[in-house]
Amino acid sequence: MTTAELSDQADHASPTEPPNRNDAPNREAILAEVIQVSRLFYDKGLVEGTAGNVSALVANNRVAITPSSMPYHEMEPQDLVCVNLEGEVASGERNPSAETAMHLACYKSFPEVRAVIHSHPLYASMFAVARQPIPAAIEEVTIYIGGNIEVCDYAMTGTPELGQAVVAKLQDRSAALLANHGLICVGKNPQDALHASLVVERTAQIVWGARVLGNSYSVPEKVNHDFGEIYRLIRKEMWN
Ligand SMILES: [Zn+2]
């Protein structure tokens, strides 16, 4: 099936009330970007095997998400599954990711969000298991993530409760830790959500190392506040 046919079939799903969004750019370009980012996040070591998932908004009320249990380097745009915001499959031959509900919770709660990545990075997951937030110890964390990365309440993978838990932590952040599980990041496009994931993982490694050396310090509160304001302004004005 071509991506154009995917696009046609996407219109057959039952409609739901769409959030207030501008039209997403070219659908085929977004599908290609989801595939490219999926391969990159595997190559960067953010997941092992077929774990994790990537999605992007391809139209108002349409999300393309990676299928479950498929190796990322075998995945092509036609393997992505298009769902509406209620999780009903609009097009695609495969089963959507088991974490689709968590992705959709982000799109439904935040109209400006256009891409979601869930991964299991090593150092960030250490903080998730320790149930400790990753502090905003590097300025770029606040610029790109909005501040420290907090830990969601534990909820089992694939449940609606997990979606509610991450939404509670993503109000003014691009990233949240899933207790005993991993990381979720949102962004204005897949590349942006991947960048956020890499910033979080890099910071987790730096903080972990700094604590081994003796101590870690957060960026001064005023600096964090000021950069946090910039993050919130950019998210509000430039994501949608
Ligand atoms: Zn996971």
pTM: 0.89
Strands (E), 113-237: 115-119, 151-152, 175-178, 182-187
* Distance separating alpha carbons of residues 128 and 41, to the nearest angstrom: 19
- The 8-class DSSP code of residue 154 comes to P
Instruction: Write out the E strands in the chain.
Output: 53-59, 62-65, 81-83, 89-91, 115-119, 151-152, 175-178, 182-187
Tell how far the Cα of 225 is from the centroid of ligand 1, in angstroms.
Answer: 31
Given pLDDT bands bounded at 50, 70 and 90, which one contains residue 215?
A: confident
- Domain ranges, residue 188: 3-7+23-238
**Alpha carbon distance 96, 101 (integer Å):** 10
Q: Kindly state whether residue 232 falls inside one of the protein's structural domains.
A: yes
Q: How far is the CA of 121 from the centre of ligand 1 (A)?
A: 10
Centre of ligand 1 from the C-alpha of residue 98, in Å: 9
| Cα 32 to ligand 1 centre (Å) | 23
Q: Which is more confidently placed, 18 or 126?
A: 126
pLDDT per residue over 154-185, tens digit each?
999 989 999 999 999 999 999 999 999 999 99
Is there a domain that residue 16 lies in? Answer: no
Number of separate domains in the chain: 1
In the predicted structure, residue 110 carries a pLDDT above the cut 50: yes
Q: Is residue 110 assigned to a domain?
A: yes
Kindly give the distance from the C-alpha atom of residue 213 to the centroid of ligand 1, in angstroms, as a whole number.
30
Dihedral, CA atoms, 204, 206, 212, 217, nearest 10 degrees? -90
Residue 7 has pLDDT above 80, yes or no: no
The CATH number for 93's domain is 3.40.225.10
- pLDDT for 13 beyond 60: no
**Rounded-to-integer distance, Cα 160 and Cα 140, Å:** 31
Q: How far is the CA of 61 from the centre of ligand 1 (A)?
A: 24
Are 15 and 84 a contacting pair, CB within 8 Å? yes
Work out the burial of residue 232: count CB atoms within 10 Å of its CB; fewer than 13 is exposed, 13-18 middle, 19 or more buried: middle
Asked if residue 222 is part of any domain, the answer here is yes
Q: Point out the catalytic residue in the list 33, 99, 112, 201.
A: 99
Classify residue 12: in a domain, yes or no.
no
Indicate whether 13 belongs to any domain.
no
The more confident residue out of 24 and 115 is 115
Does a structural domain hold residue 228? yes
**Catalytic status, residue 88:** no
C-alpha 178/C-alpha 159 separation (Å) is: 13
